[in-house]
Chain A
Amino acid sequence: MARQRIGYFENRQDPENICSRCRMCELMCAFHHHQVGNPRRGRIKVIALGQGEDIPVTCLNCEDPPCMNICPTGALYRKTADGMVQVNEDICIGCAMCLNVCPVGAITLDPVDGVASKCDLCQGEPQCVTYCPASVLKMTDAGQFARYRMKGFARFLQSAGEER
């Protein structure tokens, strides 16, 4: 199995299938991991860009993860080559070097515990995917996600053809 991550599968032609900024993903993520209400402890965040643009952002599960590579204590690790990078909270010293190198900002320091915090795919059943009311979050791999984008582009070409 190729490396998994959470993908944002929006359909811009359908107003109901775009992130609607309900932030359920943030709430359920924090609840799953810490049994509290506190979206700042969620490992996914909806970024509001204004004028109705909202995009959920989380870990991309890089092939060559800078966060893991730079960690001075070895607190970030991968169980298997295809699996998600995880945090050993007992070893993490909260130095935030991983934050500095993550290209998308998907690793943070937990505001309560002070240690590195990132998506772990909830051990295979991501709560953000289960609870997203727009069903735009899916567990995916790079190949699937690329095909989804290609399909969108193909549809665009198709409609351009129809207009002609």
Chain B
Amino acid sequence: MSVFGGGYAGQILYVDLTDGSIQKKPLDREFALKYIGGRGFSSRILLDELKPGIDPLSPENLVILATGPLNGTPAPSASRLIVAAKSPLTGALGDSNSGGYWAPELKYAGFDAIVFDGRSSEPVYLWVEDGKAVLRSAKHLWGQKIHQTSELLKEEIGDDDIHVCAIGPGGENLVRYACVVTDEESVGGRCGIGTVMGSKHLKAVVVRGSRDVGIADPKRFKEAIDAYRETLVGEVWTETLRRLGTPNLVAHRQKLGIWGAKNFQRATIDGWEKISGEAFREKFLLKVMGCMGCMVRCRRYSAIQDGPLAPTYTKGPEYDTINALGAKTYVTDPAVILRAHYLCDEYGIDEQTAGSTIAMAMELYERGILKKDQVDGVELVFGNGEALLHFIEKIPFRKGFGDLLAEGTKIMGQQLNADYYAIHVKGLEVDASDPRSLPTRALTYAVATRGSCHLRGFPYIDEFIKPEEAMAFFGTPSVSDLHGLEGKGKMVAWSENWVTVSNLMGLCLFAWYRSRSFPMLIKRGLDLVSETFVAATGLPMTSEELLRCGERVYNVEKLFNVREGFGRESDYPPPRFFEEAMPDGPGKGSKLNREDYDRLLDEYYEARGWDKKTGVPTPEKLRSLGLP
């Protein structure tokens, strides 16, 4: 029996794929209080269980699927699943998360997390149902794409009300950035966790559960979630996300001129209206969707119903779809972008890294570094949608030039002696935007513990915090100045601790952090969440302590990376952002300045309590966080 009053299922499942043994271990109360769940569980287990320096594709690596205490409860948008491993793309800590319905279902089946170790001699899948788990042969599933895998499993199990977490051919063939797809359409894309699943010959994890996720204090819980929902009603972000989804950001990127178009050679896009949120809504949107328990409903469900790419039915696109597969490759045909997105999901490869790597190859081709005979005779130039679709079909099978593209930008850069054009941090490609004109974003992307990431922190606070709030909270009004540097290191560090909280709980960022009011970030993001956590679990918690849990987990991740050899030098944006000025748009002429960036990084390390020379957490800091 679980020692928890609610929230947690109370058990973690350990599966050794080498000998096929399966163990259930009770979730320790102190561990839960310290690391909460999700990224907290996965990061701590990776630090504890992995030997330093292992090959991420060896049997020694782990794959962890972790939920948070609010998954499975009716808390708003508590749908996110964390998938984690040492990343084969970066060699650093790797994790990714996805929405949908799978994480709650794992809780209903009686588990908070699953840890996979070893390697099976032949393809297998794990079938988990109401406290039981068995490994079954997946020989007949190997080679299948995502939807077909689910269809076959539903047929085999004899129920279509099951939830499937699977890899596609990309993961099987060890494309370095293979993703993990849950419920056919929710993608944990980044860092190649699907690749590690593939290396373990683990094709899928299938769950069905009918157990209760308890609520310790139902009356208090209902009040807390009602108050939480209240903060989302009338929030401008909620409305925008429902109407346009994340592609609403296309207009924002164009307005600020922060696209990384043409592999970061252009900051604006001619004819951007064709790929705007409005354009996708008008042309392809069938309906808006919500993940489990979501009232924001930012997810799109789209279809191409006529033309050469029909029929294509897919969830999405997201802003980052359009950025990676459209802006970076300069393909502005929305149907091609949507089709490319669909193919990436079906083959199980991360569209971010796929788009970024193809874009880099396009630049190398245009510069003559890659010759036509090296790229299978394809005219690999920017804007060539056919070339994009061609290679997305090759990468999952490592066919032809797809074999090199399957390595990601960092390795491709090394192999072609063209590092400079690989736009990544720690091996993970820069997503979201070009940070050259907005140094706070540069810092956020560069210090993120999973490699370049716009979701590890929240650097946009400077766009809306009031000077008096900045003064009171960060000790300087400069934080409210978009181009000010002072206080920004502190702000980024705070925002990382804060964002981590949602990843611990299993909450979706988009129903959690989007607000244009700084006090709301505290109220919804910490006060209401800690209240919901207390009501659900019966455990003690305060906003301050919850934020400290976020900081603790961030430090655990840093410790993992330090152990793998990532020091201060790995916390820098790619050289192109220092060397070349932005060529067009409102930020024209902007580039990062080394002195300014060093100053930002120093301040960030100081705020974090990390050694300025090495980036290593100081013993005092670790002690203060209860990390011996």
Contact = CB atoms under 8 A, between A and B. Distances in A.
A40 B108 contact: yes
A143 to B, nearest CB: 28
A17 to B, nearest CB: 9
A52 B295 contact: no
B92 interface: no
Given A37-B74, A51-B313, A133-B297, A21 B290 contact: yes
A15 B218 CA distance: 34
Nearest to A134: B297
B211 A35 contact: no
A153 to B, nearest CB: 21
Given A21-B290, A51-B313, A52-B287, A38 B212 contact: yes
B287 A23 contact: no
B290 A20 contact: yes
A149 interface: no
Nearest to A27: B74
Interface in B557-581: none
Given A38-B210, A51-B303, A24 B287 contact: no
Contact of B214 (A21, A22, A36, A131): A36
A42 to B, nearest CB: 10
Interface of A: 15-16, 18, 20-24, 27-28, 31, 34-41, 51-52, 111-112, 131, 133-134
Q: Per DSSP, are chain A's interface residues mostly helix, strand or loop, or mixed?
A: loop
A52 B313 CA distance: 8
Interface in B82-116: 101, 104, 107-108
Contacts of A111: 210
Interface string B56-83: 0000000000000000111000000000
Given A24-B294, A37-B74, 15 more contacts: A16-B297, A21-B289, A22-B290, A24-B290, A27-B73, A34-B212, A35-B215, A37-B104, A38-B210, A40-B210, A41-B210, A52-B301, A133-B290, A133-B294, A133-B296
Give the 3 A-B residue pairs with the shortest CB-CB distance, closest first: A22-B290, A37-B213, A111-B210
Nearest to A18: B287
28 contacts: A15-B286, A16-B242, A20-B287, A22-B291, A22-B297, A24-B74, A24-B290, A27-B74, A27-B293, A31-B73, A31-B74, A31-B215, A31-B218, A31-B222, A34-B212, A35-B218, A36-B214, A37-B104, A38-B72, A38-B212, A39-B108, A40-B108, A40-B210, A41-B210, A52-B303, A112-B211, A133-B290, A133-B295
A20 B285 CA distance: 13
Nearest to A22: B290
B243 interface: yes
B288 interface: yes
Interface in B335-359: none
A16 B285 CA distance: 10
A15 B290 CA distance: 12
Contact of B293 (A24, A34, A40, A51): A24
A28 B294 CA distance: 12
B108 A20 contact: no
A36 B289 contact: no
Contacts of B73: 27, 31, 37
Contacts of A40: 108, 209-210
B249 interface: no
Contact of A36 (B212, B288, B299): B212
B293 A22 contact: yes
Nearest to A12: B287
A39 B293 CA distance: 10
Nearest to B74: A27
B416 to A, nearest CB: 41
A156 B528 CA distance: 46
B269 interface: no
B82 to A, nearest CB: 18
Contacts of B108: 37-40
A31 to B, nearest CB: 5
Nearest to B6: A36
Nearest to B72: A37
Contacts of B292: 22-23, 27
A133 B301 CA distance: 17
B240 to A, nearest CB: 12
A24 B295 contact: yes
Nearest to B101: A23
Given A15-B285, A22-B292, A31-B74, A36 B213 contact: yes
Contacts of B285: 15
Given A31-B74, A51-B303, A133-B297, A20 B289 contact: yes
A108 B228 CA distance: 32
Contacts of A27: 73-74, 292-293
Nearest to A17: B287
